[in-house]
Amino acid sequence: MLNWLGITIGAIQHRSIDILLDVTNELSNESQATILGRSKKSDLLSAVLINGTASHIFDYDDTHLDTVHHPSGPVAPVVFALGEKYNIAPRELLRAFILGCEVELRISNAISPSHYQKGFHITSSTGVFGAAVAAGIILDLSEEEMAMCLGLAGTQSFGLREMFGTMTKPFHPGKAAQNGLLSVLLARKGFTSSMHVLEAKRGFLNVYSPESQPERILEEWGSTWEIEKNAFKPYACGIVLHPSIDACIQLSEFATPEEVKEIRLKVHPYVLELTGKENPTTGLEGKFSIFHTCAVSFIEKDASENQFQDQVVTHPKVIELRKKIKPYTDPQIAKDTVSAVLIKQDGGKHNVYIKHATGSLENPMTKAMLVAKFTKLCSNILTESQIAHVIKDVSRFEGLNTLDQLLCNIRSVQ
């Protein structure tokens, strides 16, 4: 939750959020739930759309690497909005958050990898189920109502990978959160849908995945937890790029950019499939370019949000070095691994092998790293005192009496 709050608040001043607020302000004047990091509230559906979108703008969110799914994005906005409106105890919100994430990840397992390879943005397409389950738990739906809301959620599933590198990619988890919540609000009023949305012949699994495995949804339910496989990003871009970033930061110790002849990177096939943009022109496109990401991390020894600004992506020095980045794929290499070679102009060579990228389950970010990430992201939005209070309150979330204890330090901003 701390990670999700940081990436949401940090991105809340983005132009795409201004656009969404302009549209929602034209449609509703309700003040039901906080826009995190802004000094205003909005109606429930608009708030979850905006907060969910903001949380994915930086591409800095938590990741379930097996399915390349970002579980918090569609679920947390619903949990926070309903918790605020109905004054739900944080302990109950935490339960809904965990179960919502667990459901979407298990459905993701059942349709991976063919669903993602087909071109669907899995965070959105299955995230709608997580949002619906979390909302349904908070609003105490009956078993029949929950089945109906899952049907409503499944028929609103969407998200295309074609949109990566544009404002529409972060819009996906925001809309999944909104669609999941709307499904619950309709189901609790008696709106009907199919009771068999997942398993039916023309249901979600069969339509959205050429090779679905429905048994994986309930596999060891209650004894193993997919959410425990969730990891966090030290870099503000697709997680498949993180091994290469680690490698390029290490290689930068052995040469200046001018001394580099080329940097060869042996990577998992997903890397070029997802991040093969050779000539990005905007910060958002840069997040999906192994060429930009490796060049800028070599030069600046980092790949946080500052390295994905438009002016950085178009800087001549970065453009010159990215021409020297030479990735190639190997289906045998793991997603969090890279084998890199720096070849210098004078013929010298340096090799780096990253077995597990920083932020992976085997090499996780520490609590101190997550706190530092949150602080950096929010430093231009919240005061030092607010940041300290939010960190403290999230660390004891289930023990808070009300969610407002936490939100009051996110609301009173510029």
Per-residue model confidence as pLDDT tens digits over 147-178: 999 999 999 999 999 999 899 999 999 999 99
DSSP-assigned beta bridge partners for residue 338: 354
Burial group, residue 166, by CB count within 10 angstroms (0-12, 13-18, 19+): middle
Closest residue by Cα to residue 234 from 336, 72, 359, 357: 359
pLDDT digits (tens, 9 = 90+) for 312-337: 999 999 999 999 999 999 999 998 89
Give the residue from 155, 115, 153 showing the smallest Cα distance to 134: 153
- What are the φ/ψ torsions at residue 25 (nearest 5 degrees)? -65, -30
Helix, strand, or coil (residue 103): helix
pLDDT over 60 at 355, yes or no? yes
Calculate mean pLDDT across residues 179-184. 97
Flag whether pLDDT at 413 surpasses 70: no
DSSP 240-257: GGHHHHHHHHHHTTS--G
Residue 202 has a pLDDT of 95
Band (pLDDT 50/70/90 cuts) for residue 25 is: confident
Single-letter amino acid code for the residue at 10:
G
How far apart CA 360 and CA 354 sit, in angstroms, is: 11
- Interval 368-395: pLDDT, tens: 999 999 999 999 999 999 999 999 999 9
pLDDT over 70 at 412, yes or no: no
pLDDT at position 26: 86
Long-range contacts of the stretch 145-148 (C-beta < 8 A, 24+) = 145/187, 145/188, 146/187, 147/195, 148/187, 148/191, 148/192, 148/193, 148/195
CA distance 10 to 203: 38
User: In the predicted model, what is the mean pLDDT of residues 356-365?
Assistant: 93
Cα(203)–Cα(38) distance, rounded to whole angstroms? 39
Mind listing the pLDDT tens digit for each residue in 26-70?
Answer: 888 788 999 999 988 999 999 999 999 999 999 999 999 899 999
- Which residue's structure tokens are 């509230």? 41
SS3 of 172, please? Answer: helix
- CA dist 388 → 208, 359, 401, 405, 410 (Å): 44, 23, 18, 13, 11
What pLDDT is recorded for position 217? Answer: 97
pLDDT digits (tens, 9 = 90+) for 209-244: 989 999 999 999 999 999 999 999 999 998 899 999
Supply the pLDDT for residue 207. Answer: 95
> What pLDDT, in 10s, does the model give residues 111-146?
999 999 999 999 999 999 999 999 999 999 999 999
Which class for 26: exposed (0-12), middle (13-18), buried (19 or more C-beta within 10 A)?
exposed
Provide the pLDDT for residue 103: 98
- Report the distance separating Cα 263 and Cα 340, nearest Å: 7
What pLDDT is attached to residue 248?
Answer: 98
pLDDT of residue 28: 80
Average pLDDT over all residues of the chain: 95
- pLDDT at residue number 314: 96
Report pTM. Answer: 0.92
- Distance between CA atoms of 101 and 366, rounded to whole angstroms? 21
CA distance linking residue 93 with residue 329, whole number of Å: 42
